[in-house]
Amino acid sequence: MTTINKEEIQKFSSLAEEWWDVKGKFKPLHMFNPIRIEYITQMIRKYFKISDQKINPFNELKILDIGCGGGLISEPMARLGAKVTGIDASEKNIKIAKIHSQESNLKINYLNSSPERLDEREEFDIILNLEVIEHVEDVELYIKSCNKLLKKNGLMFTATLNRTITSYIKAIVGAEYILRWLPIGTHDWNKFLRPEELEKKLSIENFKTIEVKGLVFNPLNSKWKKSDNLSVNYIICSSKV
């Protein structure tokens, strides 16, 4: 049993050299990154009762970034003091992530792996699943594996795309075919999960939903913002009970 979809891994491996090119194929992700970081850090501070004034606020936290790619989320978390492990099933992605973290003088434990292959058990305070779950081979195994890696009362963020007509028009027709923000074939609409479907799957594996938030793109200022609109992008913050 595996969560790895080889075709999906190959897609991202072929783009690995472009992870840190803000004008390259991952430009949409670079635009998306600030709102993800803002939301995640706010929820972590609130949940773990961390003062806004604290230097290196996450220095007592161990974070696992699954499907870390080139390290776009791992690096900001490490800069906040967290002990970060980033894993990705693409060896090329991990190679790029390691090189960039060294150039940035950041200590991050990058591993070419998938969650079900990790030896650690209940090791992490926080797990980040950001735009990953729609690419895995076995969603149930993926969530079950996350449960084994997260400490009791630990926090998990799962960001993905809703399966709606709106998401098909915007995320696939618009982003891939018209605007060419993403390579054609990046997403499979049939693999998108409705929030209620994902919440149910999380609940089965003893995750309690804390909050579900939509992330919406404003074309007027080319920025993303938090929203109650879950029709396209959304993120679930949950705790392991």
0.85 exceeded by pTM: yes
Is 101:79 a contact under the CB 8 Å cutoff?
A: no
- Tens of pLDDT, residue by residue over 176-190, are 888 787 778 888 999
What was the pLDDT predicted at 135?
94
Report percent pLDDT > 90 for the chain: 83
Q: Which helix (H) or strand (E) holds 156?
A: strand 150-161
What was the pLDDT predicted at 223?
93
What was the pLDDT predicted at 102?
97
Looking at the structure, give the CATH architecture of the domain made up of residues 6-240.
3-Layer(aba) Sandwich (3.40)
Rounded CA-CA distance 186/202 in Å is 25
- Tens of pLDDT, residue by residue over 73-128, are 999 999 999 999 999 999 999 999 999 999 999 999 999 999 999 987 779 999 99
Q: Which of 137, 197, 184, 102 is nearest to 4 (CA)?
A: 137
Is 136:75 a contact under the CB 8 Å cutoff?
A: no
Q: What confidence category does residue 216 fall into, taking pLDDT thresholds of 50, 70 and 90? A: very high
Count of CB atoms situated within 10 Å of the CB of 190 = 8
- Tens of pLDDT, residue by residue over 29-77, are 999 999 999 999 999 999 999 998 888 999 999 999 999 999 999 999 9
Using the structure block, give the residue that is written with the tokens 């791992």: 74
> What ranges do the domains of the chain cover?
6-240
